[in-house]
Amino acid sequence: MNCEMCGTAAANELVRAIVEGTELNLCQKCSRFGRVIARPSPARIPEKMSPPRTEPELLIIPNYARVIRQKREQMGLSQKEFAQKIAEKESFIHQMETGSAEPGIELARKLEQFLKEKLITQADDGGIRLSKPKKEELTLGDFVKVRKR
Ligand SMILES: [Zn+2]
């Protein structure tokens, strides 16, 4: 079956929801536009339970400034040359190397590849975090309440 809003084929993941007074079968993505009245029945979920999808929180390593500076110097690049190679501003390289600006995860990934050095670490030991999914449920519940009025 296809999502009646965006047309995406989403076999088992369609959600029954009311949008502007019309009942539609929506994919997960579109369901947030409507008032969800039914989730897919548990019987349709494969018996092999998939583990809860928890993305480990990623952090930049605490000593990123020193690591970036050391690796850059080992490669014989000036801050300016380094900035050009990774398409970032020279001033930002300076800020990173003095520890006044932390690279975002996307940039850190790019730096990791370029410097061949690990800059990203996980917030914990990969343990399961239960707080995140719970929060999302709450948000959906609140949303439904608001639409009912
Ligand atoms: Zn859709």
pLDDT 10s digits, 13-52: 788 999 989 999 999 888 888 999 877 655 555 556 666 6
Calculate how far, in angstroms, residue 4's C-alpha sits from the geometric centre of ligand 1: 7
Round to whole Å and give the CA distance between 94 and 78: 10
Domain spans of the chain? 1-48, 58-122
Calculate how far, in angstroms, residue 57's C-alpha sits from the geometric centre of ligand 1: 28
Calculate how far, in angstroms, residue 27's C-alpha sits from the geometric centre of ligand 1: 4
Q: Which of the residue ranges 35-39, 71-75, 118-122, 130-134 has the most confident prediction, judged by mean pLDDT?
A: 71-75
Calculate how far, in angstroms, residue 22's C-alpha sits from the geometric centre of ligand 1: 15
pLDDT at residue 70 is higher than 90: yes
- Is residue 21 a contact partner of residue 3, using CB atoms and an 8 Å limit? no
End-to-end CA distance of the chain: 31
pLDDT value, residue 148: 52
pLDDT at residue 91 is higher than 80: yes
Tokens linked to 9:
């084929």
Average pLDDT rounded to a whole number, residues 81-99? 96
Buried b / exposed e along 34-72 (16+ C-beta atoms within 10 A): bbbeeeeeeeeeeeeeeeeeeeeeebbeeebbebbbebb
pLDDT value, residue 135: 47
Average pLDDT rounded to a whole number, residues 71-76? 97
Least confident among 46-50, 90-94, 108-112, 137-141: 137-141
pLDDT at residue 142 is higher than 90: no
Query: For residue 109, what are the contacts with CB-CB under 8 A and spacing of at least 6?
Result: 120
Q: The domain at 58-122 falls in which architecture?
A: Orthogonal Bundle (1.10)
